């Protein structure tokens, strides 16, 4: 390991930047989409219809037992046999969104269960029900309680995005892997890749802390 | 799927479980050690433990395993794929378990520790009979959760050419042109592993609760 190894990475910065862009777009889109879908799925856990509740619980436990890579294979290799063809990037993105939406739904459900029953009763007593109850009473409390766990899940999303290199999506890990296979400087390459992921996660932590502080100030 | 396909699932399951198991065995005590360093606020080492945990927790399993397997030979350290996988998963497990132990230590009431000190118990007895039982009890759910995370991250070992459950499933699918059935078989194996871990958690919790019943 010496300075010239870093020089090589600098010279190959084009592919590094492409890799960062790919990872960043994957993380941003699937991070936001999974929160949105998670929020849509969560009320189904409390549905009065038995089969709706049963199927959402089954779906989420299935995702919890499956490794992310296995699910990526189902989307990337499995779906084409049913006539659904995605390219590498899209199937990676779809896999990330679906897989992590299930986790987000689980997170929001546990936050929902945590809300004291008195608050809900008070809300109903004041005449809130249905969608208004969710939007005015449950929603804000739910989001505030869920913020730290959502942050953890976002870090998980960053880490899971590295698996997509296996189906040859050109993300950060794949970019550095291609550089090291040409110049044989694997140690420095993967160290820099690890540091880049670290920066991603520190940024997420920063954003989560800011949002949590904003939420506390709003509520207090 | 023929006999050899099922055999490859068995091989895959053995390496998945083996690598995860080693990581659990190494990660639980080392994680406790790091957590104690941070809890006791040991001057320099505590900070080092903090940086280590923060770095490793954000590093994807695939990247870490490639760093260990492809990167270390630059320093004349050549590892077999299996050893590299075990080392990399142990590193991750140590970092995650450190956080779990630490949050248990934070909720531990320090005054008990001081009371034990006042009764003249030495450092080891205080740790073994006052601190550890309580911390262990509140860590069990987190530790088991971390074990399922390890199992779910184990497909990363396929990037250095090891055969795990997911790779076995994918290879069979590539040969038979029917990718879904082998993936479902693999999925079923993961479900069994996760269920067994949850059973272990229930078992441990029941055992601890029965040990605590007032006489």
Chain A residue whose CA is closest to B148: A65
Asked if residues B61 and B153 have their Cβ atoms less than 8 Å apart, the reply is yes
For A131-143, the pLDDT digits (tens) are 788 778 888 888 8
Rounded CA-CA distance B65/B87 in Å is 8
**Res. A218: pLDDT tops 80:** no
Contact at CB, A65 and B169, closer than 8 angstroms: no
pLDDT by position in tens, chain B (length 215): 788 888 899 999 999 999 999 999 999 999 999 999 988 888 888 889 989 999 998 999 999 999 999 988 888 888 899 999 999 999 999 999 999 998 888 888 888 888 888 888 888 888 888 888 888 888 888 898 889 989 999 999 998 888 899 999 998 988 888 888 899 999 999 999 998 988 998 888 888 877 766 55
Report residue B143 CA to chain centroid gap: 8
Q: Which chain B residue has its CA at the smallest distance from A1's CA?
A: B74
Minimum Cα–Cα distance from B150: chain A residue: A67
Instruction: Please tell me the predicted confidence (pLDDT) of residue A220.
Output: 62
The Cα A72–Cα A99 span in angstroms is 9
- 8 Å CB contact of B62 and A165: yes
Report pLDDT digits (tens) over A22-63. Answer: 999 999 999 999 999 998 888 888 888 889 888 988 888 888
**pLDDT tens digits, one per residue of A52-77:** 888 988 888 888 889 999 999 999 99
Q: How many CB atoms lie within 10 A of CB A87?
A: 10
Interface test mutation site (partner A, options B15, B56, B59, B150, max chain A beta carbons within 10 A): B59
Quick one: pLDDT at residue B63? 92
For residue A162, give the nearest of A177, A173, A175 by alpha carbon: A173
Nearest to B179 among A77, A162, A177 (CB): A77
| Cα separations in angstroms, B136 against A142, A175, B28, B202 | 30, 42, 11, 14
Alpha carbon A69 to chain centroid distance? 14
Cβ atoms of residues A192 and A9 within 8 Å: yes
Give the predicted TM-score (pTM) of the model.
0.87
How does B106-115 read in b/e, with b if 16+ C-beta sit within 10 Å?
eeeeeeeeee
Indicate the SS3 state at residue B32.
helix
CB contact under 8 A, A73 and B166: yes
Fold designation for A3-219: MetI-like fold (1.10.3720)
Cα gap A143→A35, rounded to integer Å: 10
Mean pLDDT of chain A: 88
Return the residue in A66, A70, A165, A184 with the most chain B beta carbons within 10 A, the one to mutate for interface testing.
A70
Tens of pLDDT, residue by residue over B24-66, are: 999 999 999 999 998 888 888 888 998 999 999 899 999 999 9
Q: Under an 8 A CB cutoff, do A159 and B186 touch?
A: no
> How far apart are alpha carbons A197 and A202 in whole angstroms?
9
The residues spanned by each domain of chain A are 3-219
Residue B62 has its nearest CB partner, among A70, A81, A162, at: A162
| Long-range CB contacts (within 8 A, 24+) of B107-111 | B107/B138, B108/B134, B108/B135
Tell me which chain B residues have a C-beta less than 8 angstroms from the C-beta of A62: 187
- Maximum Cα–Cα distance across chain B: 71
For residue A1, the model assigns a pLDDT of 64
CA of A121, closest CA in chain B: separation in Å? 31
Full set of structural domains in chain B with CATH: 3-208 (1.10.3720.10)
What is the enclosing helix (H) or strand (E) of A44? helix A13-45
Shortest CA distance from A82: residue in chain B: B180
Query: Where does residue A87 fall: left (phi above 0), alpha (psi -120 to 50 degrees), or beta otherwise?
Result: beta
Helices (H), chain B: 3-39, 43-58, 61-66, 81-106, 110-118, 123-125, 132-153, 165-176, 180-212
Please check whether residue B49 is in contact with residue B34, taking contact to mean a CB–CB distance below 8 angstroms.
Answer: yes
Mind listing the pLDDT tens digit for each residue in A108-117?
Answer: 988 888 888 8
Instruction: Tell me, yes or no, if B63 comes closer than 8 A to chain A by beta carbon.
Output: yes
Distance CA B36, CA B46 (A): 9
Across the interface, whether the CB atoms of B166 and A68 are under 8 A apart is answered no
What ipTM does the predicted assembly reach? Answer: 0.86
Cα pseudo-dihedral B65, B66, B72, B76, rounded to 10: 120
Q: How far apart are CA A108 and CA A117, in angstroms?
A: 16
Q: Does B15 touch chain A (CB under 8 A)?
A: no
Candidates B66, B150, B176: best to mutate against A (most CBs of A within 10 A) is B66
């Amino acid at each position: 390991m010496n300075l010239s190894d870093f020089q090589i990475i600098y010279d190959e910065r084009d592919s590094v930047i492409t890799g960062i862009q790919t990872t960043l777009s994957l993380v941003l889109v699937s991070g936001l989409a999974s929160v949105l879908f998670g929020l849509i799925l969560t009320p189904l856990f409390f549905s009065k219809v038995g089969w709706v509740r049963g199927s959402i619980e089954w779906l989420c436990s299935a995702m919890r037992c499956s490794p992310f890579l296995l699910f990526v294979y189902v989307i990337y290799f499995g779906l084409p046999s049913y006539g659904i063809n995605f390219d590498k990037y899209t199937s990676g993105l779809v896999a990330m969104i679906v897989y992590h939406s299930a986790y987000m739904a689980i997170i929001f459900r546990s936050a929902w269960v945590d809300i004291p029953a008195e608050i809900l009763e008070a809300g109903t007593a004041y005449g809130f029900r249905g969608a208004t109850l969710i939007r005015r009473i449950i929603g804000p409390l739910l989001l505030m309680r869920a913020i730290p766990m959502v942050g953890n899940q976002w870090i998980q999303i960053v880490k899971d995005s590295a698996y997509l290199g296996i189906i040859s999506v050109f993300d950060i890990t794949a970019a550095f892997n291609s550089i090291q296979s040409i110049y044989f400087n694997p140690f420095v390459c993967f160290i820099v890749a690890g540091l880049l992921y670290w920066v991603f996660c520190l940024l997420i932590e920063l954003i989560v802390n800011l949002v949590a502080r904003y939420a506390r100030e709003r509520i207090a | 799927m023929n006999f050899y396909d099922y055999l490859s699932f068995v091989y895959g399951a053995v390496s998945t479980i083996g690598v995860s198991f080693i990581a659990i065995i190494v990660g639980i005590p080392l994680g406790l050690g790091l957590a104690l360093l941070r809890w006791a606020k040991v001057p320099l080492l505590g900070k080092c433990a903090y940086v280590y945990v923060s770095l490793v927790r954000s590093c994807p399993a695939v990247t870490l395993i490639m760093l260990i397997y492809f990167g270390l030979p630059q320093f004349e350290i050549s590892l077999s794929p299996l050893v590299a996988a075990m080392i990399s998963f142990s590193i991750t497990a140590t970092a995650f378990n450190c956080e779990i132990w630490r949050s248990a230590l934070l909720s531990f009431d320090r005054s008990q520790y001081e009371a034990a000190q006042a009764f003249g118990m030495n450092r080891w007895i205080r740790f073994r009979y006052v601190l550890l039982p309580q911390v262990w009890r509140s860590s069990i759910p987190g530790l088991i959760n971390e074990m399922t995370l390890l199992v779910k991250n184990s497909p990363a070992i396929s990037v250095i050419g090891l055969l795990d459950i997911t790779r076995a499933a994918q290879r069979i699918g590539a040969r038979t042109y029917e990718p879904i059935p082998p993936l479902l078989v693999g999925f079923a194996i993961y479900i069994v592993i996760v269920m067994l871990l949850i059973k272990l958690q229930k078992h441990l919790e029941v055992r601890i609760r029965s040990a605590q019943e007032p006489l």
